[in-house]
């Protein structure tokens, strides 16, 4: 299957970003709020993540909200806060790009650019991301097959950027108990046809705080190359996605057996 993936053969993959390695031999843990709400809260969250030994943080400045009446993000101000916090803490930032007109400004402020589920098929955006040097996290479209997702990655690779990380964030099924359905089988599937790392987002896939631990452990056990988890010091008071956001106590619980589980796959924490 997928014979015409010209750039995704089974070969080595390695990104070195601020001396941290992202590869299929390491495990990349990204945590942080759904959205940047203000500078102080972001700094406090990221400082705590750093204390916990985490190297990557996330936070949305531009949000793709289903309703136009919901908070759309701090936009430019949010980018500035993310950069300031990253510079101050030395932590690696991840934030979503929602429009091709923002590529330059986001690439200047953010270490790793994320393409959200709603933009996986925005090929003009993917081509532009092929022209920058920042790594790109490409989320799976909520209604996309694995083949369509890998071809979306191929658009970025063909345009010239080899540093693509895939992120499974749940797909739409008939099930309504969870926000989406986490497709764990995407992990071994991707691994058998592509050399790109694949990380799991248990937050947007379940939409439920009570499931983050089991889905995270399941992802590690299935051989995922990382996790991206929405985390906040006060999940109930967040503006966006509070039902799925966890606190530091729960994050610590998730991390506790991590080294043991990822060692099943010969992996080390990145």
139 binds, among ligand PEP, Mn ion, none (CB under 5 to 8 A by kind): ligand PEP
Q: Is 75 or 158 the residue whose CB approaches Mn ion more closely?
A: 75
CB of 82 to Mn ion, least distance (A): 15
CB of 203 to ligand PEP, least distance (A): 7
CB of 206 to ligand PEP, least distance (A): 12
Q: Is 139 or 261 the residue whose CB approaches ligand PEP more closely?
A: 139
Under 8 Å CB-to-CB from 42, ≥6 apart: which residues? Answer: 32, 33, 36, 59, 81, 82, 85
Are the CB atoms for 113 and 134 separated by under 8 Å?
yes
Sites for ligand PEP among residues 193-212 (CB under 6 A): 201, 204
163 binds, among ligand PEP, Mn ion, none (CB under 5 to 8 A by kind): none
Buried b (16+ CB within 10 A) or exposed e, 41-58: bbeebbebbeeeebbbbb
The single residue among 116, 135, 141, 202 that binds ligand PEP, judged by CB under 6 A, is 116
Sites for ligand PEP among residues 12-41 (CB under 6 A): 34
Are the CB atoms for 122 and 147 separated by under 8 Å?
no
- Based on its alpha-carbon atoms, the radius of gyration of the chain, rounded to whole angstroms, reads 17
**x/- letters, 16..45, toward Mn ion (CB under 5 A):** ------------------x-----------
**Strands (DSSP E) along the chain, which ranges?**
14-17, 20-23, 26-32, 56-58, 92-97, 112-115, 136-139, 164-168, 198-200, 226-230, 268-269
Task: Count residues near ligand PEP (CB under 6 A).
Answer: 10
Q: Which of 148, 93, 94, 138 is nearest to 116 (CA)?
A: 138
Under 8 Å CB-to-CB from 63, ≥6 apart: which residues? Answer: 34, 35, 70, 71, 72, 73, 96, 98, 240
The single residue among 55, 169, 179, 209 that binds ligand PEP, judged by CB under 6 A, is 169
Sites for Mn ion among residues 228-257 (CB under 5 A): 241
Residue in the shown chain whose Cβ atom is closest to Mn ion: 34
Task: Count residues near Mn ion (CB under 5 A).
Answer: 2
Tokens of 84: 């300031």
Are the CB atoms for 241 and 44 separated by under 8 Å?
no
Q: Is 96 in the site for ligand PEP (CB under 6 A)?
A: yes
Sites for ligand PEP among residues 208-267 (CB under 6 A): none
Residue numbers at the binding site for Mn ion (CB under 5 A) = 34, 241
Residue numbers at the binding site for ligand PEP (CB under 6 A) = 34, 60, 64, 96, 116-117, 139, 169, 201, 204
């Amino acid at each position: 299957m997928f014979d015409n993936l010209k750039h995704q053969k089974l070969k080595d993959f390695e990104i070195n970003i601020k001396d941290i390695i992202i590869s299929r031999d390491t495990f990349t843990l990204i945590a942080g709020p759904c959205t940047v709400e203000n500078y102080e809260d972001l700094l406090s969250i990221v400082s705590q993540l750093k204390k916990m030994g985490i190297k990557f943080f996330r936070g949305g400045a531009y949000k793709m909200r289903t309703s136009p009446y919901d908070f759309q993000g701090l936009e430019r101000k949010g980018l500035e806060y993310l950069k300031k916090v990253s510079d101050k803490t030395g932590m690696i930032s991840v934030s979503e790009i929602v429009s091709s007109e923002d590529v330059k400004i986001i690439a200047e402020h953010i270490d790793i650019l994320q393409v959200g589920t709603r933009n996986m098929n925005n090929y003009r955006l993917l081509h532009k991301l092929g022209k920058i040097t920042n790594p790109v996290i490409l989320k799976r479209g909520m209604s996309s097959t694995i083949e369509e997702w890998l071809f979306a990655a191929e658009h970025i690779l063909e345009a010239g950027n080899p540093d693509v990380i895939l992120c499974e964030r749940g797909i739409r099924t008939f099930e309504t108990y969870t926000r989406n359905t986490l497709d764990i089988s995407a992990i071994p599937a991707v691994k058998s046809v592509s050399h790109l790392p694949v990380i799991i987002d248990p937050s947007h896939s379940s939409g439920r705080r009570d499931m983050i631990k089991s889905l995270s452990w399941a992802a590690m056990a299935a051989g995922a190359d990382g996790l991206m988890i929405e985390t906040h010091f006060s999940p109930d008071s967040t503006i966006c996605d509070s039902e799925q956001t966890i606190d530091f106590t729960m994050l610590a619980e998730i991390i506790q057996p991590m080294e043991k589980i990822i060692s099943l796959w010969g992996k080390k924490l990145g």
